[in-house]
Structure 1
Amino acid sequence: MTLFDPGLQPERTELAWRRTALALGAGSLIALRLLPVAFGHPAWAFGGVAGLALAATLWLAARRRYRAVNSVLVRDGDRGVLPGASIIAVLAALVLAIGLVSLAVVILTALHSG
C-alpha cells in the first residue's frame, strides 16, 4: 500500500523553485544595470553575471529534481528514498553570502559618504 498522492504537489514545488530562479535573475539584471553606474567600477557587473548564471543553474536543477522526485514517488510511493536536498543547502549558503556582501557594501558606502 502506498500513501503517495499523485496530485500536483511536486509540480507546485518545482514552480516555486522557478519563481525563485526568476526573482534571482531579475535581481541580477537590476544589479547588472545599476551597480556599475552607482559605484563606477565595471567589476560590479560580475555580480550580475554570476547571479544570472546562478539563476539558470537553479532553474535547471529544480527541473531535474522535480523529475527525480516524481519518478521515485510514482515508482515507490512514499516509501521511496528521495534525492538529497543539496540544492536547498547551496541556495541558503548563497543567499547568506549575497546578504553579507550587500551589508558590507551598504556599510562601506555609508562610511565613505559620511
Structure 2
Amino acid sequence: MVRSGTVVLDDFNLDIPAGKVTAIMGPSGSGKTTVLKLITGQLRPDQGRVLVGDVDVGRLSKPELNRVRRHIGVLLQNGALLTDLTCFDNVALPLREHTRLPEPLIRKLVLLKLQA
C-alpha cells in the first residue's frame, strides 16, 4: 500500500479472530491507521485483498460495506472521528445506524449536540 508516495504496507498479512479484541500498535508512520482504514473499507488496497470474514471489503459497494461495518468495532485513540465523514455525520452515525428516528429529528439532535 502506497500513501503519499511512500510504501506503508508491503507483503502484509494480518489475521484477527472473530470476537477477539486486538490492539494495533506501532510508532508513528508505521501503517496503523492505514491498516484500520483498509479493514473498514475507508481505503482500497493497491494490490491484494482485504477480507473481513469471507468478504473482500475492497470490492464492496457503499451499502454492502455498511452492512459489513456493522460487524466491526473500532476504538480509536483519543476518540477520533471517521475521516471520510463530516463532523455532523460522525455525530449522526449512531443515531442513523441504531435507531429508527426520522432524519429531521436526527438533524435537530445533532445540531443541538454540536452547539452544546
Greater helix content: 1
TM category (shorter chain) comes to under 0.3
TM-score (norm 1): 0.23
TM-score by length of 2: 0.23
Question: Based on CA coordinates, which of the two structures has the bigger radius of gyration?
Answer: 1
